[in-house]
Chain A
Amino acid sequence: MEEVMSKKERISRYVVLCLLSVFILTPFVLGLWTSFLPTADISSGSLFSTHISLDNYVNAMKNTAIIRYLLNSLVISVLTTAFQLIFCSMSAYAFVFLKFRGRNFLFGLFLATMMLPFEAEVIPNFATMRQLNLLNTYSVMVVPFLTSAFGTFMLRQNFKQIPAELKEASDVCGLSHWKFYTKVTLPYAKISLLTLASYSFLSSWNQYLWPMLTTFSDKYRPVQDGLRQLQSQETFNDWGMIQASAAIVVIPTLIVLFIGQKSFKSGINEGAVK
């Protein structure tokens, strides 16, 4: 929209933009600001203080396992993402380039799983994990999510765009499926793989219910449930420290978001269109 806006129109746009920004940014700003204030001042209802310091951050790192939670989440999300990239791309490859009996049926089955919410299956999954003796480990949060039907579906759509001539040529050259998969398919689908990676990482990072049911110690607890734990333990409402912990969690993801925004934006739109 290249049209020239009148001054009045421009001002009214800025007003709307500012109002919306206030709604979006207030929770961040307030959270960040109070993380620098002494809890005593916050509890007295004052949002202004002369004692601005990093004490809450020092406290959070010393007295809570917040850094451990972050590391746990990092381990879990990285593992989940890596395996999803491998297994989803492999199954997508099978659905596009391999001919075998029952292919359509199996693909239908994959699609069907996309309709089933994990939340509706936690009871048997919890029992399975208890039987496998995997409760309260990293595995319990990684193993059920090693692959995903959504990821398979998304990559399949992308693999289908690989020119058939490419496959024919490689068949003529006697390239095996494994070679075609690693040397042609994966490099071709780089952007979709990146999109899937960010999607899997975020979903894993945001897991809440499942880790809450299956982890009982700080050693394995991921960050979402770590914060939940802190918030419910702090019966004295140590707001300063809680806000500092939240800031420690949110600042890295915000930085990643802002840096990766350009590629991520185009990736999401690509995913949305498919």
Chain B
Amino acid sequence: MEQVDQKKSLSQQLHDKASKISIGYDIEAHDKHYALLFLGPSLLILSVFVFYPMIKTVWMSFFLTNSLGKPTVFVGLQNYIDLFTSSAYLNSMKATFIYVLFVSILTIVLGLLLAQTASSKLKGIGFFRTAFSSTMGVSVSVAAIFWLFIFNPSVGLVNKIAEFLHLPVVNWLTQPGWAMFAIIVSTVWMNLGFTFLILFGALQSVPVTLYEAARIAGVSKRYQFFNITIPMISPTLFFAAIITLIDAFKSFGLIDMMTAGGPNNTTNLLVYRIYQDAFLNGNYALASTESVVLAIIIAVFTLIQFKFLEKKVTY
């Protein structure tokens, strides 16, 4: 693999040199027009809908804004100071981190459990594999409807089971603590299909010879799992974890449909708060500041992912 790459880049270099020598600057001038043609559309779209809005958002976070979202008074870092001294926002931040942590850990652990058990060669395993990947076909609003019904206090399944077991009945979505529990369960369920698929694929690509050698050496199953399986699939495991984590930071749909940030803002996560502050309360400056904070958090995790992928690609 590495050799092929080297060979390719070498011939590429030679080719580059040859074309420079023989045609001189022409090729670059020639390519420039093509570059405009090939890159133009994407560059235009990204400029208008990604670069400009990001700069505008940062810009607006230094101002106060009127009800139309127009900047009025320059206030420097005051919005940031206000934000990080607001207990409401800090609570949102804390809730988001708790949510992200539980969602990521549960998704990866359960996803790995699904992938591992679905790897065994048993009769009818195809059914289980299909079943495990099925939530991948579920969109956010469908998932919300399914779980709204399950957590419904009067007709939902969870309370029915609780009644049957003589446990106290809970108003799942309107009781602080339990509401967070409910959206974590729903999110994990929704994530599992995708996570299962990529982890299952990774498990399939671990060379069988490794397990055979381990078996001949008389190594226990447990030891095999932690010392062969986990290290071998760790790149995919990491990829899945960070994708799940970034997605969890951006959660909006389930919260909007299931709890609307309540009760008492206990499930009012970062993106939902941006939506509320901008589009319900009309405080665009505050919402912009919150957007910048969110962008920084996600940028950090994406950078970690890039660094990691880079390492892998060069390897």
Identify the A interface with B (CB < 8 A): 1-3, 5, 10, 13-14, 16-17, 20-21, 23-28, 30-31, 34, 42-43, 45, 47, 87-88, 90-91, 93-95, 98-101, 103, 106, 109-111, 113-117, 119-128, 143-144, 146-147, 149, 152, 157, 163-165, 167-168, 171, 177-178, 181, 205-206, 208-209, 212-213, 223-228, 231, 239, 242-243, 245-246, 249-250, 253-254, 256-258, 261, 264-266, 268-269, 272-274
Is the Cβ of B118 less than 8 Å from the Cβ of A269?
no
Q: Which of B74-82, B94-102, B130-138, B174-182 contacts A (4 or more CB under 8 A)?
A: B130-138
The 5 closest A-B pairs by CB, nearest first: A124-B53, A269-B201, A27-B146, A121-B53, A227-B141
A191 to chain B, nearest CB (A): 14
**Which of B57, B118, B200: most chain A Cβ within 10 A?**
B57
- B1-31 CB mask vs A (1 if < 8 Å, else 0) is 0000000100110011001000000011001
Is the Cβ of B252 less than 8 Å from the Cβ of A119?
yes
Is the Cβ of B201 less than 8 Å from the Cβ of A265?
yes
User: Given A121-B54, A223-B141, A168–B38 Cβ distance below 8 Å?
Assistant: no
Is B213 at the interface (CB under 8 A from chain A)?
Answer: no
For this complex, 7 residue pairs linking A to B, each with C-beta atoms less than 8 Å apart, are A2-B121, A115-B298, A123-B278, A168-B11, A213-B279, A224-B253, A272-B239
Which B165-207 residues have C-beta < 8 A from chain A?
189, 192, 194, 197-198, 200-202, 205
User: Given A1-B120, A206-B140, A208-B252, A121–B57 Cβ distance below 8 Å?
Assistant: yes
Is the Cβ of B114 less than 8 Å from the Cβ of A20?
yes
Partner of A253, one of B15, B139, B160: B139
Is the Cβ of A208 less than 8 Å from the Cβ of B302?
no
Is the Cβ of B291 less than 8 Å from the Cβ of A94?
no
Which B222-256 residues have C-beta < 8 A from chain A?
235-236, 239-240, 246, 249-250, 252-253, 256
Is B89 at the interface (CB under 8 A from chain A)?
Answer: no
Is the Cβ of B252 less than 8 Å from the Cβ of A231?
no
Q: Which A residues are CB-close (under 8 A) to B122?
A: 5, 10, 13-14, 17
User: Given A119-B274, A147-B42, A31–B201 Cβ distance below 8 Å?
Assistant: no
Main secondary structure of the interface of A (DSSP, over half): helix
B109 to chain A, nearest CB (A): 12
Is B103 at the interface (CB under 8 A from chain A)?
Answer: no
Complex CA gap A164/B132 in Å reads 42
Complex CA gap A243/B144 in Å reads 11
User: Given A120-B291, A254-B134, A208–B141 Cβ distance below 8 Å?
Assistant: yes
Q: Which A residues are CB-close (under 8 A) to B215?
A: 3
Is the Cβ of B50 less than 8 Å from the Cβ of A115?
no
Beyond A28-B146, A91-B43, 16 additional pairs, beta carbon < 8 A? A23-B189, A26-B150, A27-B143, A27-B146, A47-B160, A90-B42, A91-B39, A95-B39, A116-B54, A123-B60, A147-B45, A152-B42, A213-B275, A231-B145, A239-B149, A269-B201
Main secondary structure of the interface of B (DSSP, over half): helix
Complex CA gap A36/B284 in Å reads 45
Q: Which A residues are CB-close (under 8 A) to B125?
A: 17
Is B287 at the interface (CB under 8 A from chain A)?
Answer: yes
**Which of B34, B57, B246: most chain A Cβ within 10 A?**
B34
Is the Cβ of A124 less than 8 Å from the Cβ of B52?
yes
Is B93 at the interface (CB under 8 A from chain A)?
Answer: no
Is the Cβ of A30 less than 8 Å from the Cβ of B157?
yes
Q: Which A residues are CB-close (under 8 A) to B117?
A: 13, 16-17, 20
Complex CA gap A136/B115 in Å reads 42
B153 to chain A, nearest CB (A): 11
Is B218 at the interface (CB under 8 A from chain A)?
Answer: no
Is the Cβ of B46 less than 8 Å from the Cβ of A227?
no
B24 to chain A, nearest CB (A): 13
Partner of A125, one of B49, B141, B249, B287: B49
Is the Cβ of B189 less than 8 Å from the Cβ of A250?
no
User: Given A90-B38, A90-B42, A168–B139 Cβ distance below 8 Å?
Assistant: no
Is B219 at the interface (CB under 8 A from chain A)?
Answer: no
Q: Which residue of B lies closest to A176 (CB)?
A: B34
Is the Cβ of A27 less than 8 Å from the Cβ of B128?
no
A247 to chain B, nearest CB (A): 9
Complex CA gap A269/B194 in Å reads 11
- B245-272 CB mask vs A (1 if < 8 Å, else 0) is 0100110110011000000000000010
Complex CA gap A188/B303 in Å reads 30
Is the Cβ of B142 less than 8 Å from the Cβ of A21?
no
Is the Cβ of B201 less than 8 Å from the Cβ of A272?
yes
Is B288 at the interface (CB under 8 A from chain A)?
Answer: yes
Q: Which B residues are CB-close (under 8 A) to A143?
A: 45, 49
Q: Which B residues are CB-close (under 8 A) to A274?
A: 309, 313
Q: Which A residues are CB-close (under 8 A) to B257?
A: 228, 231
Q: Which B residues are CB-close (under 8 A) to A144?
A: 45, 48-49
Is the Cβ of B139 less than 8 Å from the Cβ of A119?
no
Is the Cβ of B145 less than 8 Å from the Cβ of A100?
no
Which B276-301 residues have C-beta < 8 A from chain A?
278-279, 284, 287-288, 291-292, 294-295, 298-299
Q: Which B residues are CB-close (under 8 A) to A103?
A: 35
A23 to chain B, nearest CB (A): 7
